[in-house]
A and B are shown apart, each in its own frame.
Chain A
């Protein structure tokens, strides 16, 4: 398996622009998680889905952030409009709910810089 795939790997954009991050989970996994990592705040869970349904979005910082999972193999995290404080590394992870553990497998991340 190719693992969790994220794109783009790097994104540089100007304040006010829309940013879309993409994730393809491991085939067969039914839970998907979006995290944000910064030096100041560490690793934060933004939202997670189970069977394509959002289960907990309490970590989404504000209305500028939205996430979708239209099918089992694709999810997006959108920021509109972007702000400099959104600069961070965004990770997508997937797991299989119903297995022996909830071990999560992380993608390589998207490094977002908002100028």
Chain B
């Protein structure tokens, strides 16, 4: 059974600090997605990583993909309160199905 695991599940960090969220998955895949969900809102696509070594950056967030290690990271640089949200990674099985397998999510809280 395919598993997508994120850690940590909950992250409380101070403004200005750096941190990394990890996403591990248990099967071969070369495409990975990161989503953001604000409290009470829907999921919004952040990054689409389409190959081994892919790196995408948007503002204070940077995502990378290592398909050999079956690992993606979401790095937060100099956190600000507006980044407080839940972040999900999802894996694309591509050759078997077009559905995405979502991780459990990482709830990030940034405090002053």
Contacts and interface: CB of A to CB of B under 8 A. Distances in A.
Interface string B81-104: 000000010101010011110101
Given A43-B105, A101-B48, A31 B42 contact: no
A102 B29 CA distance: 13
B88 A43 contact: yes
A102 B100 contact: yes
A43 B31 CA distance: 20
Interface residues of A, number: 23
A12 interface: no
Given A43-B88, A103-B33, A103-B48, A108 B42 contact: yes
Contact of B45 (A50, A103, A108): A103
Interface of A: 31, 33, 42-43, 45, 48, 50, 55-56, 91, 93, 95, 97, 100-109
